[in-house]
């Protein structure tokens, strides 16, 4: 091997190494720039999310005042049973049902607490009553027209006949539901 060939070989190795080094540095620079760009994109995304969160932020103070005013409103007092707890609300509903049945000259035979809904704050009872045929309209008017508003979800009527084949009494099976609210407006 002569000296010229050896220099040519050294130059080609050196230029190959130089190109390899430039290629490695270019890759490192591209990765650095790419990661910085990704960090910038993520930062912008978090800034937008924070701004959206900040824009949707709700102040609890005014909402609590609004809830307190709703709880103490006359409309709520007229449309719901006022009770300290759910059991008391069921008893109040039973008393309202008994009063309505007695207004129609009937008699409450039995009642059972039905499926009450804690989320909607409603209570329900299933009643069995006996009412004279003429007293049924008075009972229904008393249930639906009085405050608090009582809804009749299901109702079955069975006629009991007398000895002369006339309707003497109606046997009523019904499910009554009413909303209830705590009697203390500050309770949450």
- Euclidean distance between the first and the last CA atom of the chain, given in angstroms as a whole number: 98
Q: Tokens at residue 23, please? A: 């290629």
HSE of 171, CA atoms in CB hemisphere, 13 A:
7
Q: What is the mean pLDDT of residues 98-123?
A: 86
What are the φ/ψ torsions at residue 158 (nearest 5 degrees)? -130, 130
DSSP assignment letter at 85: S
DSSP assignment letter at 149: -
pLDDT value at 43 more than 60: yes
Neighbours of 89 (CB within 10 A): 24
Q: 22 versus 118: which is more confidently predicted?
A: 22
Q: Tokens at residue 86, please? A: 């759910």
pLDDT score at 1: 54
Beta bridge mates, 181: 82
With cut-offs at 50, 70 and 90, classify the pLDDT of residue 185.
very low
DSSP assignment letter at 118: T
pLDDT score at 188: 40
pLDDT score at 50: 87
Q: What is the mean pLDDT of residues 137-143?
A: 88
pLDDT, the chain, mean: 84
Q: What is the mean pLDDT of residues 152-179?
A: 83
Alpha-carbon distance 48 to 54, whole Å?
10
Residues with Cβ within 8 Å of 53's Cβ and at least 6 positions away in sequence, in order, are none
pLDDT score at 186: 42
Q: What is the mean pLDDT of residues 120-141?
A: 89
* Nearest residue to 83 (alpha-carbon basis) of 72, 94, 91: 91
Neighbours of 100 (CB within 10 A): 25
Strand-strand pairing, 151-161 and 107-113: unpaired
């Amino acid at each position: 091997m002569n000296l010229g060939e050896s220099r040519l070989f050294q130059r080609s190795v050196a230029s190959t190494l130089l190109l390899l080094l430039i290629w490695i540095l270019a890759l490192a620079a591209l990765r650095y720039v790419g990661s910085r760009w990704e960090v910038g994109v993520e930062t912008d995304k978090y800034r937008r999310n924070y701004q959206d969160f900040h824009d949707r932020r709700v102040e609890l103070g005014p909402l609590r005042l609004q809830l307190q005013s709703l709880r103490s409103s006359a409309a709520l007092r007229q449309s719901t049973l006022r009770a300290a707890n759910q059991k008391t609300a069921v008893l109040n509903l039973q008393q309202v049902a008994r009063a309505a049945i007695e207004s129609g000259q009937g008699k409450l035979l039995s009642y059972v607490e039905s499926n009450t809904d804690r989320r909607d704050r409603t209570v329900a009872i299933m009643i069995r009553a006996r009412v004279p045929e003429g007293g049924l309209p008075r009972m229904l008017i008393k249930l639906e027209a009085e405050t608090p508003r009582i809804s009749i979800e299901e109702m079955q009527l069975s006629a009991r006949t007398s000895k002369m084949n006339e309707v003497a009494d109606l046997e009523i099976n019904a499910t009554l539901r009413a909303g209830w609210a705590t009697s203390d407006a500050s309770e949450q």
